[in-house]
Chain A
Amino acid sequence: MPLQDLQPGHEFPPEALVISEAEAAAYAAAVGDVTARPSERVPPMAIIAAGLSRFISHLGLADGIVEVVHASQEVSFKRPVSPGEPLEIRAILKSNAERRGSRFATIQMSFVDQSGEEVAGASSLIIVNAS
């Protein structure tokens, strides 16, 4: 559903997320993170990045029709995540408003493990401009 049609408080369907050791290593190599130990733990920001990319894509904001700018980001980490560990992303559209021709939307994500405990959280403010 297009972003402009969603109301604040909209809950997205839960999404499964698994980051393999190879994917963790690819992320670490891409960002040049020399502290990463992808065979032991997923770089923490890789979890947030994977989640945000998915919702940007689901909202149809990655197809070149509109210009998307990432304005602010909050993250919190409760514990490290192991490669291959199954997680679930629970996301809410926290805010969604149009101002001066641009749309400001906040996506709040919670990453939970198989026991239902949150391992990380994030809130992303994006600005969408018609291109």
Chain B
Amino acid sequence: MTPNNPRTPSEPGDPLETIIRTITQAQVEAYAKAAGDYNPIHLDPEFAAKTPFGRRIAHGMLTLAIVSEMLTSAYPERWAAGGRLKVRFRGPVFPGETLRTTGEVTRVNEVDGARVAEIAIGVRKEDGSDVITGQAYVPVDDVHPV
């Protein structure tokens, strides 16, 4: 496997670089078009007003894309070639809100001859409430490089 860059988070306690992003309604609409997800809860203010959220919310997969960007930035080659994640969507994101990703290697396991970093990942709002929580797993290097 191709080695990652020297700053690859690969030991317990290593942080991933934080991404801070404000979600806009224009971005939600661009995402709907790009992903083909036209669910009115994201796009139609009248429909959204009748839901428990009371207004339009961003797509969960739009928020998760920021986590994927964080992982791509940390593991440019390996995230898309052996990475996996498992997350829960904890709460809605409303357009205009600013989000901050979190990521920290919590342990490193040996799996099929490779060291795999287990990473606590998340997305939080400015008020500290969780939007996404979960774990990612990314192979960071071979145990026995050829």
Contact = CB atoms under 8 A, between A and B. Distances in A.
A36 B65 CA distance: 11
Interface magnitude class on chain B: 35 or more
Contacts of B85: 73-75
A88 interface: no
Contacts of A73: 60-61, 64, 85-87, 89
B45 interface: no
A54 B31 contact: no
A35 B89 contact: no
Contacts of A43: 65, 68, 72
A70 B79 contact: no
Nearest to B39: A62
A61 B40 CA distance: 10
Contact of A45 (B44, B61, B82): B61
B84 A49 contact: no
B86 A74 contact: yes
Contacts of B83: 44, 76-77
A35 B16 CA distance: 14
Contacts of A131: 47, 50-51
Contacts of A69: 41, 89
B109 interface: no
B34 A30 contact: yes
Contact of B61 (A26, A32, A52, A62): A52
Contacts of A72: 86-89
Interface in B32-58: 33-41, 44, 47, 50-52
Given A32-B27, A44-B68, A69-B89, 10 more contacts: A31-B34, A32-B69, A33-B68, A46-B35, A52-B61, A57-B38, A73-B89, A78-B81, A78-B82, A131-B47
Interface of A: 23, 26-27, 29-36, 41, 43-46, 48-50, 52-54, 56-57, 61-64, 67-80, 131
